[in-house]
Amino acid sequence: MKRSILLAIACALPAAPALAQDCPIKVGVLHSLSGTMAISETTLKDTVEMLVDQQNATGGLLGCDLEAVVVDPASDWPLFAEKARELLTVEEVDVIFGSWTSVSRKSALPVLEELNGLMFYPVQYEGEESSKNVFYTGAAPNQQAIPAVDYFLEELGVERFALLGTDYVYPRTTNNILEAYLKSKGIAEEDIFVNYTPFGHSDWATIVGDVVEMSEDGRQVGVISTINGDANIGFYKELAAAEISADDIPVVAFSVGEEELSGLDTTNLVGHLAAWNYFQSADTDVNAEFVAAWKERMGEDRVTNDPMEAHYIGFNMWANAVTAAGTADVDAVREAMYGQEFPNLTGGTAVMLPNHH
């Protein structure tokens, strides 16, 4: 009732004059183009550039062209903070689309909050964060990790779990959540093996051997993988070298999608799993259009993936919020973002909630 009264009063007031918008509207791109995360993040840079060009082809926003401003934080986590500051103070961008790992996001976060920048973060993550300066368009654990574990428990009959992750905040926090969840489902602590490795780790023989050893009593073992970046190449190669099939020890990955798999010999990986909100194979008209546009721009061998869809959703929500606000000003756009709806690529609708997720 109070909301209706306030709306009625607001409608009775004279309309506020539109704010003059400086052109071009600058879109910062904060993704690693070198280093261990380039295998995943370069595609996201390409995605934002495509979205900017598509928006410009329809007339831009508020009478302005958009300009993509690209920097390379080079998989160097402190450099994400420096490059975020560069984008906001030197380049004076209106919005940033960026980061993959949580450590890179958390590096940039104090700068975003200090300078009141706005960033759209497109990757599944550990949750337990909500900043007024970030919109989180990837999955939280309840949308990805928990359903994947339920599938292992209920459909594959997994009784012992190996939680293998890269050593930073996302795998550690996600695995803490999963350990507690598994114990609540009756999995004993001694049947949960947790291991962390550095970014770029390549020697997987001992770890894979430890996982194989877990299955020697005949119980079904499953691997929950939060391994990130190019370390996945060595991990899957070692599984193949050890002649471990998905029937023997299934793996479900939270950070391996079409882009990472395109660089691997997948002959021996058939049957292993990935859990995402989106896959290129989604059978919808809008996804067919998105994939076709991507391949026309980048080549037939390039694939799409889940964080790309998250940028697609976030970018279009941001564009609609800018239009609704009549300005690219961060505070006005933030308010206009709440309740924004946009069709995703799998046949549903994404809605931005007040918690920025």
Residue 20 predicted with pLDDT over 80? no
pLDDT confidence band for 4 (50 / 70 / 90): very low
pTM (predicted TM-score): 0.84
Choice among 197-201, 218-222, 254-258, 260-264 with the minimum mean pLDDT: 260-264
What tens digit of pLDDT does each residue of 117-173 get?
A: 999 999 999 999 999 999 999 999 999 999 999 999 999 999 999 999 999 999 999
Nearest to 174 by CA among 260, 275, 245: 275
Instruction: Tell me the pLDDT of the chain averaged across its residues.
Output: 92
Choice between 264 and 50, residue whose per-residue pLDDT is larger? 50
pLDDT given at position 7: 32
pLDDT confidence band for 229 (50 / 70 / 90): confident
The CA distance from 69 to 45, in Å, is 10
The CA distance from 338 to 228, in Å, is 31
State whether residue 252 is helix, strand or coil. strand
Mean pLDDT of 108-119: 98
Per the CB < 8 A criterion, the answer to whether 302 and 295 are in contact is yes
Q: Which residues contact 356 (CB under 8 A, 6 or more apart)?
A: 130, 131, 132, 134, 135, 136
What tens digit of pLDDT does each residue of 272-327 get?
A: 999 999 999 999 999 999 999 999 999 999 999 999 999 999 999 999 999 999 99
pLDDT confidence band for 19 (50 / 70 / 90): low
pLDDT given at position 211: 96
Residue 249 predicted with pLDDT over 80? yes
pLDDT given at position 16: 36
Adjacent-strand bridge partners of 70: 29
Choice between 267 and 142, residue whose per-residue pLDDT is larger? 142
State whether residue 129 is helix, strand or coil. coil
Q: Phi-psi region for residue 345, left (φ > 0), alpha (ψ -120 to 50) or beta?
A: alpha
Residue 256 predicted with pLDDT over 90? no
pLDDT confidence band for 9 (50 / 70 / 90): very low
State whether residue 210 is helix, strand or coil. helix
Query: 336-354 burial, b for 16+ CB within 10 Å, e for fewer?
Result: bbeebebebbeeeebebee
